[in-house]
Amino acid sequence: MKTLQSIKQRFGIIGNDSGLNRALEKSLRVSATDISVLVTGESGVGKESIPKIIHQNSPRKHFKYIAVNCGAIPDGTIDSELFGHEKGAFTGATSNRSGYFEVADGGTIFLDEVGELPLPTQVRLLRVLENGEFIKVGSSKVQKTNVRIVAATNLKMDEAIAKEKFREDLYYRLSTVEINLPPLRERKEDIPLLFRKFAADFAQKYNMPTLRLDQDAQDVLQNYYWNGNIRQLRNIAEQLSIIEKERIISSKSLVNYLPKKFNQLPALVDSKKINSDFSSEREILYKVLFDMKADLNDLKTLTLDLMQNGNSSETQKKNQNLIQKIYQNDNSDHKTIDNQTNTFKGQSDDNDKINEFKYDYAETVIEEEPLSLLEREIEMIKKALIRSKGKRKKAADELGISERTLYRKIKQYDLNELEE
């Protein structure tokens, strides 16, 4: 059996990370079989190397190897590309055409970005995996094919299945063996090796001295997040090779080429900034519900105190802030809170007045209809706009929603007069 080192040399793979070595070992072990393989990992980690290794070390290596980028083919033509079509099957079908599964008979097909396949195509692919049968577009004749399928995706398949964007039965047929390639940020020791390889390649390509990194620059490179993985590292190396005059790169020079928004792990607080209408509306509903719960608790506290201790001056003093909170926005015919408080303080011994206050308070609770969620939402938006003096961004930050969602709600509830 071929060694890992020979495989790395043949396919240009750099690194000694244990996760990478494990993925290569699995590739070699499954190559002699015909089982389907699913390669997973983030975009830019080099997933396209795995199906090549599998094909070149399999009994199918003398037959065709076809790589198909499923995400780059329009939905309307993907079936024709994969399975072929008959003349006249659709507008523009002026002749018969053989699809990839017919052309690659006996060989290997690599379906890159398989998670982007439309659901009707997934049904056709499932049939090929189950019994090797397919039907051309516009035909009723069943044809057979003998192909090895290796697929790859950067999607989280469990989420795609939960959202019904990918068939669960197809996932299990594709992932008989699953090979995961680790992201570059988990291969810290391999990053300087990869950079040196890219720097040497670009020095040869552009006929210039090879770049080198000082120690501080190497530390920066190893601690960077690398959202784009190996592809991003290669691009950085090419930029430095072309633009920088100095051939020894310092950390000060290097950081100018690294996008700062990916310079660290994403903070959890940023999740509320996600531009999702569903997420934003859920957050504002949570706020409404929490405020309603707080108001109910306040009313319970005041009611219990009145029942236990009566409307004494001590009770009024103890609950002064709470009473003001209840009446601060009351536009009804009730007395103002200040007049009520003064009256009751001066006449605390007058049982009729005390009873009158109790009656008025009870009527307020009973007669005033509780605000609906929609009304509470509108009220919160109005108050936020007033406090921010009409500045949408500031109001949106206070509400915990995106500015786009706030703008839509302003239009929906006709609150334009509250803006600047």
As a whole number of Å, the end-to-end CA separation of the chain is 73
Three-state SS letters, 91-160:
CCCCCCEECHHHHCCCCEEEEECHHHCCHHHHHHHHHHHHHCEEECECCCCEEECCCEEEEEECCCHHHH
Regarding predicted confidence, which is higher, 182 or 386? 182
Asked if pLDDT for residue 32 goes beyond 60, the answer is yes
Residue 86 sits in the same domain as residue 12? yes
The predicted-structure confidence for 332-342, as pLDDT tens digits, reads as follows: 444 444 444 44
Residue 65 sits in the same domain as residue 178? yes
Residue 248 sits in the same domain as residue 378? no
Asked if pLDDT for residue 415 goes beyond 90, the answer is no
Residue 286: the pLDDT is: 67
Residue 35: the pLDDT is: 95
How sure is the predictor about 112, in pLDDT bands with cuts at 50, 70 and 90? very high
Residue 240 sits in the same domain as residue 128? no
Alpha carbon of residue 400 to chain centroid: 18
Residue 335 sits in the same domain as residue 376? no
Domain count, the chain: 4
- Taking residues 232-247, what's their average pLDDT? 95
The domain boundary, picked from 201, 228, 262, lies at: 262
Residue 109 sits in the same domain as residue 141? yes
What does the alpha-carbon distance between residue 39 and residue 47 come to, in Å, rounded to a whole number?
Answer: 6
Contact in structure between 386 and 399 (CB atoms under 8 Å) = no
Residue 200 sits in the same domain as residue 177? no
- Taking residues 5-24, what's their average pLDDT? 95
Residue 107 sits in the same domain as residue 167? yes
The predicted-structure confidence for 73-99, as pLDDT tens digits, reads as follows: 998 899 999 999 999 998 889 999 999
CATH number at residue 246: 1.10.8.60
Joined together, the tokens standing for residue 106 give 């006996």
Torsion of CA 362, 366, 367, 370, to 10 degrees: 130
Q: How far is CA 13 from CA 16, 19, 41, 45, 111, in A?
A: 10, 13, 16, 11, 21
CATH number at residue 110: 3.40.50.300
190 DSSP assignment = G
Residue 84 sits in the same domain as residue 153? yes
Residue 16 sits in the same domain as residue 108? yes
The domain boundary, picked from 182, 212, 247, lies at: 182
The domain boundary, picked from 140, 166, 182, lies at: 182
Residue 47 sits in the same domain as residue 22? yes
User: Which of helix, strand or coil describes residue 56?
Assistant: helix
Q: Is the pTM of this model over 0.85?
A: no
Domain that holds residue 69: 4-182
Indicate the average pLDDT of the chain.
Answer: 82
Residues of the chain above pLDDT 70, percent: 75
| DSSP character string of 363-376 | HHHHHSPPPPHHHH
What are the strands, taking DSSP E only, across 159-224?
177-180, 212-213
Residue 174 sits in the same domain as residue 189? no
